[in-house]
Amino acid sequence: MRPSFVTLSIAAAVAALPGTPLGYERALLKRALEQRTDGNSSTASCLGDVAETATAPYTNVWAQISAEDNRAVWDFVHDPALGLNLTDPEEATQTDNYVYFIDTVPVNKTDVLAYKAGGPPPPKYARVILFQGGKADPDSQEYMVGPLPVSTTTTIQPLDYLYNGGQGGRVPFNARVFDGPRSAATEPLIAETMSSIADITAALFQGSVYYGSEDERTNLSATSGTPQSFDGTQSFRSILFRLPGVASYLTPIDFYLLIDCTGTDSSLYFLKGFVTKERFFETEVELRAAFDAGELVQDYQQTLDADWALVNHKDDMGQRDLEDRFAPSSIELGGKRYKVDPEAQYIEYMGFTFYLSFSRTTGISIHDVKYKGDTVLFELSLQEALAQYGGNQPKAANTVYHDTYYSLGTDMGTLLEGYDCPFGSTFWNVSYHEANTTVTNTDSICIFEHDMNFPLARHRTGGGSSDYGFANLGVVKGAALTVRAIATIGNYDYMFDYSFHLDGSIEVAVRASGYLQSSPYYANQTSWGPRIHDATMGSLHDHIINYKADFDIVGVNNSLQVSELVVANVTQPWFPELGTFEQMKMNVSYKAEEEQFDWAPNNQAMYVVLNKNETNKWDQPRGYRIVPGRSDIHLSIANSPWSRDNAAFVKSHLAVTQQHDNEPFSNSIQNVNLPWAPQQDFAEFFDGESVDDTDLVVWFNLGMHHFTRAEDVPVTLYSEAYASIVFAPQNFNDQAQDGDLLNRRWIVPNKTATGEYVLEFENYGVPLPTCAVQFSEPVLGIEVDVTT
């Protein structure tokens, strides 16, 4: 498409409104028009400007290790003298030792606080995951290499202290990530088995055959989810076949292959059986007998052309009236009102200051959030995006995703200006290390201030002896700054938003779009979702997105106050006729110990993280309330074998723990294949420690119970698959923090000498802007290898 240019003129829009100023709304508009000419209107383009530069007060200590450090660490671990016996991952098989990835060891809070108090910068360490299939007892082991930069004092040691499962950073081979080499090792068995029954699959599924993923005749694709082990002593794949193509997630066929792939010797792998039509066949002989008896004829056939599953315009759906016009867009008309330090990934906005960091496993995190100079949060970060499915078939039943297992951060991709984020947003890259190179995903974080489309505050005081029927009207504009990234993890596009509001509140939101992981359609599986296409069913599942909020309300030592609304029977002497009557009141208490807990029924409790020793002008402890938003849920199932002991973090709405340097994460990235013997067990965090007047961490879940529907085709919609939470000041200040905002109007009817009333508008020196907005068709960035 050719670039298109649109010029938008506020003045023209206002001038076009007809009528004389009779009612006060019209008077407002007339005045708005007049204000254009009497203020300091900007004539600059409203889009072209870049954010002004801020200077971060200190180094971003949460930043990843640099490309140079990554290369040096790569060389360090590959030094033959170290004896790790590493193979190039590009050429490795599962029986070799090789680097899985190099990332950054989370910096200890203790060291950060010491640094901020004038101490030395925290030491930097690389986190190196080695897959050691070449060892006698094959495994995956994490190491920490540092301090960096690599020098003669650099050492390598097991990175065990992050994990409480008993084996530290070690994961047995059978539970380690099922990467390319492991997948390749199972391919001969799959190809051999499926080739042998090619006549059956061809007859049942419109000629579909599987002779191996690389074979030219193959026109089925094989997929299996996680877990692929229960406790690391066994390994298996529950494989679902699909018609290949861009929308294969929506074109599954009713055929499953179950294999055992325990250990590193692929000659020992074996067939566990086949499933189709909800029947299990342990051997090919049994399958063939049923086939020959005509029992496997399929009731529904998958579509061969999957155009229906693409997110393009559907010509056959017609067109809506006026939909050929460009849709409304949020633009920063007055110029950018935030400052950034791109080097330090530091942002200043309307009293807020904070840092960003990025990791290949968890994406973006927020650090050291201050509001008007006082600390609110030490860290706000994604921990895990979990999804668990259900169905009377092996693939859905055997699917629990932990998306950090797929290095969720590396899936944060380029955002389309004007569509994914407003025109004029600030775009930042994300980078991560891949072997000895560093990959950059361009424009994968966007930062923008946007209209809330509702005022932050307003009041029209009635009465007043004027023709206008009111004494005064005050309205404050509503705006917020959002930091956004979208990670496309296989089928799903998770949108992560962190929004900073003018009143000091902070909102966390997550949305999901993208393809359902669907099932072949079974007419009698109505308990697991509806039919959504010819041969496709939407599979019921839960998404639970786990976050960490390390509050430091004006200092590290905080408490979690619970104000429960209770009903009390009271008597009041001035109402003798009532005798005893019910009233509601607050029962205020503090969480004493570490605990996992749920939102109170009917949301009849307020949770506030506060500092008992820091009070506002009214002697109230300063705090932030945890305000439930939309869809704050936990996992529906507590005792599933697929998520039994490795997912405690998604089994309550909320949790509070004492902060510890060795408990930075609720989950581990290889936990998904260890549901019965977790590497990291969040439940172990709750060992009776105090959370009263100490450094505490709140963990919370957002998510969706995904009741699938026809409207999930072609993709799930962000409008509905949406969850949020808000942290709002609770006596943190002496009053609402809108009094210092100039973006407001104060309107008072004033009696002139002739006895008429005119509306006097106060604009506090912020007149309406005039600007020409020139849009250009957005361009998509690319991934580049930075070989510095």
The number of beta carbons lying within 10 Å of the beta carbon of residue 192 is 12
Nearer to ligand NAG by C-beta: 226 or 438? Answer: 438
CA–CA separation, 350 and 371 (whole Å): 9
Residue numbers 271-300 binding ligand NAG by CB under 6 A: 278
Among ligand NAG, Cu ion, none, what binds residue 465 when CB lies within 5 to 8 Å by partner kind?
A: none
The number of beta carbons lying within 10 Å of the beta carbon of residue 733 is 17
For residues 47 and 426, is the Cβ–Cβ distance under 8 A? Answer: no
Binding ligand NAG by CB under 6 A: which of 342, 351, 530, 628? 342
Q: Look up residue 88 and give its amino acid.
A: D
Nearer to ligand NAG by C-beta: 144 or 648? Answer: 144
The number of beta carbons lying within 10 Å of the beta carbon of residue 343 is 12
Q: How far is the CB of 555 from ligand NAG (least distance, A)?
A: 6
Stretch that binds Cu ion, among 18-26, 175-183, 560-568, 700-708 (CB under 5 A): 700-708
CA–CA separation, 724 and 515 (whole Å): 21
**Site track for ligand NAG across 223-262, x = CB under 6 A:** ----------------------------------------
How far apart, in Å, are the Cα atoms of 400 and each of 153, 464, 491, 537, 606? 42, 64, 14, 18, 32
Binding Cu ion by CB under 5 A: which of 31, 706, 744, 745? 706
Binding ligand NAG by CB under 6 A: which of 42, 183, 557, 774? 557
Asked if 511 touches Cu ion (CB under 5 A), the answer is: no
Asked if 565 touches ligand NAG (CB under 6 A), the answer is: no
Q: How far is the CB of 583 from Cu ion (least distance, A)?
A: 44
Binding ligand NAG by CB under 6 A: which of 12, 289, 304, 717? 304
Query: Which residue has the closest beta carbon to ligand NAG?
Result: 207
Stretch that binds ligand NAG, among 265-273, 382-390, 549-557, 721-729 (CB under 6 A): 549-557
Binding ligand NAG by CB under 6 A: which of 196, 589, 603, 604? 589
Binding ligand NAG by CB under 6 A: which of 28, 637, 728, 784? 784
Among Cu ion, ligand NAG, none, what binds residue 706 when CB lies within 5 to 8 Å by partner kind?
A: Cu ion
Binding ligand NAG by CB under 6 A: which of 4, 40, 151, 735? 40
Nearer to ligand NAG by C-beta: 606 or 702? Answer: 606
Give how far the C-alpha of residue 339 lies from the chain's centroid of Cα atoms, to the nearest Å.
24
Q: Rounded to 5 degrees, what angle do the CA atoms 192, 195, 198 make?
A: 155
Q: How far is the CB of 692 from ligand NAG (least distance, A)?
A: 9
Nearer to ligand NAG by C-beta: 110 or 233? Answer: 110
Q: How many CA atoms lie within 13 A of 648 on its CB side?
A: 19
For residues 345 and 355, is the Cβ–Cβ distance under 8 A? Answer: yes
Asked if 118 touches ligand NAG (CB under 6 A), the answer is: no
Asked if 780 touches ligand NAG (CB under 6 A), the answer is: no
Stretch that binds ligand NAG, among 165-173, 184-192, 201-209, 316-324 (CB under 6 A): 201-209
Nearer to Cu ion by C-beta: 389 or 700? Answer: 389
Residue with tokens 């030592």: 557
CA–CA separation, 346 and 56 (whole Å): 6
**Which DSSP symbol is given to 246?**
T
Q: Rounded to 5 degrees, what angle do the CA atoms 240, 245, 246 make?
A: 110
Stretch that binds ligand NAG, among 164-172, 204-212, 381-389, 630-638 (CB under 6 A): 204-212
Nearer to Cu ion by C-beta: 182 or 706? Answer: 706
Phi, psi of 417 (to 5 degrees): -60, 135
Q: Which active-site residues does the annotation give? A: 403, 492
Judging by beta carbons within 10 Å of its beta carbon (0-12, 13-18, 19+), is residue 189 exposed, middle or buried?
Answer: buried
Asked if 87 touches ligand NAG (CB under 6 A), the answer is: yes
Q: If we measure between CA atoms, which residue out of 564, 542, 560 comes closest to residue 551?
A: 560
Stretch that binds ligand NAG, among 354-362, 497-505, 510-518, 551-559 (CB under 6 A): 551-559
Dig out the tokens for 148 from the structure. 């960096």
Q: Look up residue 158 and give its amino acid.
A: P
CA–CA separation, 51 and 336 (whole Å): 6
Among ligand NAG, Cu ion, none, what binds residue 17 when CB lies within 5 to 8 Å by partner kind?
A: none
Asked if 170 touches Cu ion (CB under 5 A), the answer is: no
- Sign for the CA dihedral angle at 148, 154, 156, 161 comes to negative
Asked if 213 touches ligand NAG (CB under 6 A), the answer is: no
Dig out the tokens for 764 from the structure. 């506090």
Order the strands of the 519-520 sheet from edge to edge. Answer: 519-520, 536-537, 531-533
Dig out the tokens for 63 from the structure. 């930043």
Asked if 94 touches ligand NAG (CB under 6 A), the answer is: no
Q: Rounded to 5 degrees, what angle do the CA atoms 304, 179, 634 make?
A: 80
Q: Look up residue 146 and give its amino acid.
A: G
Binding ligand NAG by CB under 6 A: which of 70, 141, 164, 208? 208
Q: Which residues contact 456 (CB under 8 A, 6 or more apart)?
A: 476, 477, 478, 479, 501, 502, 503, 738, 741
Strand locations in 261-345, DSSP E? Answer: 270-276, 279-281, 338-341
The 3-state secondary structure of 455-509, one letter per residue: CCEEEEEECCCCCCCEEEEEEECCEEEEEEEEEEECCEEEEEEEEEECCCCEEEE
Residue numbers 401-430 binding ligand NAG by CB under 6 A: 428-429
Among ligand NAG, Cu ion, none, what binds residue 23 when CB lies within 5 to 8 Å by partner kind?
A: none
Judging by beta carbons within 10 Å of its beta carbon (0-12, 13-18, 19+), is residue 160 exposed, middle or buried?
Answer: middle
Nearer to Cu ion by C-beta: 72 or 387? Answer: 387
Nearer to ligand NAG by C-beta: 265 or 693? Answer: 693
**Site track for Cu ion across 76-105, x = CB under 5 A:** ------------------------------
- 520 preceded by a cis bond (ω within 30 of 0): no
Binding ligand NAG by CB under 6 A: which of 61, 84, 105, 257? 105
Dig out the tokens for 504 from the structure. 């000091």
Rg (CA), the chain: 30
Nearer to ligand NAG by C-beta: 88 or 192? Answer: 88
Nearer to ligand NAG by C-beta: 87 or 716? Answer: 87
Nearer to ligand NAG by C-beta: 88 or 467? Answer: 88
Binding site for ligand NAG (CB under 6 A): 39-40, 71, 85, 87-88, 95-97, 105, 108, 123, 125, 134, 161, 206-209, 217, 219, 278, 304, 342, 392, 428-429, 436, 440, 442, 524-525, 555-557, 564, 566-567, 569, 580, 582, 587, 589, 611, 613, 661-662, 693-694, 750, 752-753, 760, 765, 784, 787
Binding site for Cu ion (CB under 5 A): 706
